[in-house]
Amino acid sequence: MATLHVFAGSHAPDARPTVRRIGFADLGTAIARGLDDFRAMPSHVIFLSLLYPLVGLVLARLSFGYDLVPLLFPLTAGFALIGPFVALGLYEMSRRREQGVPTSWRDAFAVLRNPSIDSIALLGGLLMVLFVIWLAVADALYVGLFGHAPPESLGRFLTDVFTTEQGRTLLLVGNAIGFLFALLVLVVSVVSFPLLLDRDVGLVCAMETSVRAVLRNPLPMAAWGLIVAVALAVGSLPFFIGLAVVLPVLAHATWHLYRRVVVI
């Protein structure tokens, strides 16, 4: 029964959410409301506390060798794959604020008591698996083109990437593969996590609703994916610190995008 609940939820099978057609203006509205949520409930301190140790580990590793350098871009791009899961608590904060309930950053942990937590955890596990596969593929691509020896320096690595035939292949093929991973995550999760927080519909219904949302709104959803990718790229400079603002704003905006796309 517990397994059935994870996949099917507690709602009747015919209680299928309706997917609304949206336009590009809805994306702007979602971002504006995400910014408003961030100003009202600043959560950058939480992300700084998570990001600073990550930055420290990266810098420490770089100071002892350069074997991590080829994975810096895949690691940065990987935020787009696991971001929907990492942002769960911020979806919850936006949900509570929308309901007019007094909200602080501590309420982000209310997701742990959500009836859909098992379904959420399973979907999050799926994204983590995709993230690990993406890193493995990126590493295999680099090794196949440049060999197992780590680059001599960061400057040498950048020179190889931008001035050699192997580097151009790495950029072209790596970005193409990364795009496919990001597209898959967008399709199955763009509204899945907010929907599971909002209603115990089960994993199957949540993912199916997300797929329908993308199919019904291909251009706006493609634009949303591009906005997320560009924002994450900008926020990753320098040393990921900008993500302390970018990630919360995107997370709050994702909740409001869900509310404009899905009718419960």
In a domain, 39, yes or no: yes
List Cβ neighbours of 224 (8 Å cut-off, separation of 6 or more).
Answer: 27, 186, 190, 257
Query: Measured between alpha carbons, how far apart are the two ends of the chain, in Å?
Result: 25
What domain count does the chain have?
1
Contact (Cβ atoms closer than 8 angstroms) between residue 213 and residue 261: yes
In a domain, 5, yes or no: no
| 6 found inside a domain | no
Its domain, for residue 145, covers 21-263
70 in a domain, yes or no? yes
Instruction: Report if residue 9 sits inside a domain.
Output: no
Q: Mind listing the pLDDT tens digit for each residue in 71-87?
A: 777 877 777 788 888 88
What one-character-per-residue DSSP string does 164-228 give?
SHHHHHHHHHHHHHHHHHHHHHHHHHTTHHHHHHH----HHHHHHHHHHHHHHSHHHHHHHHHHH
In b/e form, how buried is each residue of 97-114, taking b as 16+ CB within 10 angstroms? beeeeebebebbebbeeb
Q: Is residue 161 part of a domain?
A: yes
- Tokens representing 217 are 């709104």
Q: Do 171 and 142 contact (CB within 8 A), yes or no?
A: no
What pLDDT digit, counting tens, does each position of 155-213 carry? 888 888 999 999 999 999 999 999 999 999 999 999 999 999 999 999 999 999 999 99
Give residue-wise pLDDT tens across range 133-144.
Answer: 998 999 999 999
pLDDT at 63: 44
Amino acid letter, residue 124:
G
In a domain, 179, yes or no: yes
d(CA 204, CA 197): 14
Q: Whole-prediction pTM value? A: 0.85
- Asked, for residue 89, whether it belongs to a domain, the answer is yes
pLDDT score at 123? 95
262-263 and 18-19 as β-strands: parallel, antiparallel, unpaired? antiparallel
**What counts of helices (H) and strands (E) characterise the chain?**
13, 2
